[in-house]
Amino acid sequence: MRLSDRASAAGESRTLGLSARVARLRAEGRDVVSLLEGEPDLPVPAPVLRATEDALRAGLTRYSASAGLSELRAAIARKLDAVNGVPSCADGVLVTNGAKQALYEILQTLCGPGDEVVVLSPYWVTFPEAVKLAGARPIVVEMKDGALDVDAVGRALSPNTRAVIVNSPNNPTGAVYPAESLRALATLADEHDFFLISDEAYEGLVYDGVAHVSAASLGRQAAARTVTLQTFSKSFAMTGYRVGFAAGPEELIRAAGRLHGHVTGNVCTFAQHGALAALELGEAHRAMWRAEHQALRDAAFARASKIFSVSKPQGALFLWADARRRFDGRRPDSARFAEDLLERAGVAVAPGSACGREGFLRLSFCRPESVLREAFRRIEEAL
């Protein structure tokens, strides 16, 4: 079968591939504990469920505006301004099927053949593939010790650079980038005429009093050069709802909206009503959400640090474990290490090589504490 160069060049999502394998093993009767997914284990908040049910009963099941319900776009703009300090308006918001579609469409809008996009390593597995799907070339720049190395980004720039993808809180490291680093990166964007694509999927999940900073909140210059991507998946456990958004300069968002109209009719209408209810939950929900996940982080960190070298994450839903001292003839790299844990211990983890960094494992801690205890007991036993 002859396939397009685009389809042939796109690599499979390693984490989704592993999740599918876990599902097959479970269907065969295997007892597998999965530490793969960054999916909050807590239930969808009751007001969100009620609003979704009310929308269904009211017959709000038909097409709606392609760019998103006007009232949802306005509510998102208010939230960005009030919570994230990002100056926004409804016309600068595009509602998408999760943040993944927002990333895809912004890259499709900004990039073409010959363009380059800087991707910071370690990275979320989709970043380089989404760049390639836009016809551009990912330029991978290694970040050390979870810090945002602006000088290294500067050295990687070229006249073909169209964007830098910055992800804070970071998947997989859990690093939260400080305002001074983001401000320096925004200055580079202005000087070299590129955009920051700020993936803030985990913006509601920061711990120990650490503050999440949105790049677009750092002044007019930064806002003009930044597209903010957020989602309802992580902060409200609405992963199956598939509601996310892109927010940024109106001209860019309008252009992305034109493309969006040919990619999808609209995000599920009644799911958008659930998202509206989520935005009304306010700071009390955000504080509870952070506390619940910080407790899980602490429980997982206490156990993982007895097995691997692990830095305590400031945000997101993962431990980034240095497993190199555990490598041996049977487990010489992160992919075979993860394979061995799945086969011998029945524990699924993501290899660091899937995130652009060999020698590490990504371990999700958003599982009940009893499940985390069992997972790390099995890992210790297998090693």
According to the model, what pLDDT value does residue 146 have? 81
Q: What share of the chain is helix, strand, coil (3-state, %, to 5)?
A: 50, 15, 35
Q: What is the pLDDT of residues 55-92, one digit of tens each?
A: 999 999 999 999 999 999 999 999 999 999 999 999 99
Residues with Cβ < 8 Å from 240, sequence gap 6 or more? Answer: none
pLDDT tens by residue, the chain, 383 residues: 888 877 777 777 677 777 788 788 778 888 889 999 889 988 999 999 999 999 999 999 999 999 999 999 999 999 999 999 999 999 999 999 999 999 999 999 999 999 999 999 999 999 999 999 999 999 999 998 889 999 999 999 999 999 999 999 999 999 999 999 999 999 999 999 999 999 999 999 999 999 999 999 999 999 999 999 999 999 999 999 999 999 999 999 999 999 999 999 899 999 999 999 999 998 999 999 999 999 999 999 999 999 999 999 999 999 999 999 999 888 899 999 999 999 889 999 999 999 999 999 999 999 999 999 999 999 999 98
Domains 5-43+283-382 and 62-281 share a fold: no
Residue ranges of the domains in the chain? 5-43+283-382, 62-281
Q: What is the pLDDT of residues 335-366, one digit of tens each?
A: 999 999 998 899 999 999 999 999 999 999 99
Bridge-based pairing state of the strands 161-167 and 226-231: unpaired
Query: CA triplet 360, 300, 292: central angle to 5 degrees?
Result: 125
Give the integer Cα–Cα distance in Å for 329 and 286.
Answer: 45
Which homologous superfamily is 5-43+283-382 in?
Answer: Aspartate Aminotransferase, domain 1 (3.90.1150.10)
Cα 376 vs. chain centroid, distance in angstroms?
25
What number does CATH give the domain 62-281?
3.40.640.10
Give the integer Cα–Cα distance in Å for 167 and 321.
Answer: 19
According to the model, what pLDDT value does residue 329 have? 85
